[in-house]
Chains A and B, each alone.
Chain A
Amino acid sequence: EDQVTQSPEALRLQEGESSSLNCSYTVSGLRGLFWYRQDPGKGPEFLFTLYSAGEEKEKERLKATLTKKESFLHITAPKPEDSATYLCAVGKGNQGGKLIFGQGTELSVKP
């Protein structure tokens, strides 16, 4: 069964304390892995798409990486405004636009 699992469920960091969020997947025929950020009371906001193992993408303090089994979202020197829930989702080859979402990691960064 296709599955996307995110860990940890919640992460508390001090401002400036770097860490990583994990998204592991058991999906055959992965075509794209997406990272979204969701603030309370808002819709998910697109961050990155990764297409193949070895690919990396960066945006400000965030860097996403992809292997054949998992993706990491590295957060370097986080600030309180990075606090949000981070969602990953996978698109596979025979399901059109349908994405499989993980449960998310709730990140809290304290000053």
Chain B
Amino acid sequence: DAGVIQSPRHEVTEMGQEVTLRCKPISGHNSLFWYRQTMMRGLELLIYFNNNVPIDDSGMPEDRFSAKMPNASFSTLKIQPSEPRDSAVYFCASSLRDGPTDTQYFGPGTRLTVL
């Protein structure tokens, strides 16, 4: 299996622009997770889906962030408008099921820089 695929790998944008990050989970996995990683805050869960339905979005910072999962093989995380404080590495992960013992497999991440 190709693993979790994320695109783009790097994104540089200017404040106020819209940014869309993309993720393809491992085939057959039913749960998908979006994380943000910074030096100050470590790895933070933003939102996760099970069977394409958002289950927990309590980590989404504010209304500027939105996530969708239109089908089992694709998800997007959108930031509009972007701000410099959104600069971070964004990871997507997937797991077979939605359970506390299900291993999450991470993608390579998207490094976002907002100028």
Contacts and interface: CB of A to CB of B under 8 A. Distances in A.
Interface of A: 31-32, 34, 36, 41-46, 49, 51, 87, 91-93, 95-99, 101-104
A97 B100 contact: yes
A97 B109 contact: no
Interface of B: 4, 31, 33, 42-43, 45, 48, 50, 55-56, 91, 93, 95, 97-109
B107 A97 contact: no
A95 B102 CA distance: 12
Contact of B98 (A41, A42, A92, A96): A96
Nearest to A36: B106
Contacts, number: 69
Contacts of A95: 56, 100
Given A87-B43, A101-B42, A103-B42, A96 B101 contact: no
Nearest to B92: A43
Contacts of A91: 99-102
Contact of B42 (A32, A97, A104): A104
B108 to A, nearest CB: 5
Given A31-B101, A91-B99, A96-B55, 6 more contacts: A43-B91, A43-B109, A49-B101, A98-B100, A99-B45, A99-B100
Report, nearest first, the 7 A-B pairs whose CB atoms are least far apart: A91-B100, A43-B106, A31-B100, A32-B101, A97-B98, A101-B43, A103-B42
Given A101-B43, A103-B42, A46 B103 contact: yes
A98 B56 contact: yes
A51 B91 CA distance: 25
24 contacts: A31-B100, A41-B109, A42-B109, A43-B106, A43-B108, A44-B43, A44-B91, A46-B104, A96-B48, A96-B50, A96-B55, A96-B56, A96-B99, A96-B100, A97-B31, A97-B48, A97-B97, A97-B100, A97-B104, A98-B45, A99-B45, A99-B104, A101-B42, A101-B43
